[in-house]
Amino acid sequence: MSKDVGNIGVIEQCKVVLQRYYSLQMYQKHIQLPVRDLLEHLTAVSDVGTIGHALFTTLFDALEKMESDLHRWLGLESRQKWPPLSPAIQKKDYENFARRLQYLAGILSKFYDLQAKEDIKGHAIQAAPTGFSEARQIGKKH
């Protein structure tokens, strides 16, 4: 992922993380995060810098919930200390968002085959969970 957080890569990574998390929460039978709604809101967004304050705050909170769930499901200790969101969103908030996304993407990628396929519109990923032990390893490295 590019260091420039104001690019489309952050939005695309966010979509992938949300889709993979959605599959995993279905597998865990633990549906509490409105992932489909978040994905629908992101369809019109091309750049993380253009996300409105309310949606960015919702996504920021969603990352926290996803991280908490993944740590619980994998039996990991919560080691990451992420800075809270600023009252007025600043560049550092977008940077922290991108770093946190990358962290979650690393854990989630261990659940899925490397040949996960995304349809042309980016709405579906066809993949199967692999092992919890591999995901635990990447979670412990962070």
Residues 94-135 pLDDT 10s? 888 888 888 888 878 765 643 344 433 344 444 434 444 455
Residue type, 138: I
Provide the whole-model pTM.
Answer: 0.65
At 91 the pLDDT is 86
Q: What residue ranges do the domains of the chain occupy? A: 8-141
Work out the angle between the directed axes of helices 91-109 and 132-141 (0-180°, nearest 10).
Answer: 150
Question: Which string of DSSP letters, residue by residue, matches 73-105?
Answer: HHT------PPPPPSS--HHHHHHHHHHHHHHH
Span 20-61, pLDDT tens digits: 888 777 777 777 778 888 888 888 777 777 788 888 888 888
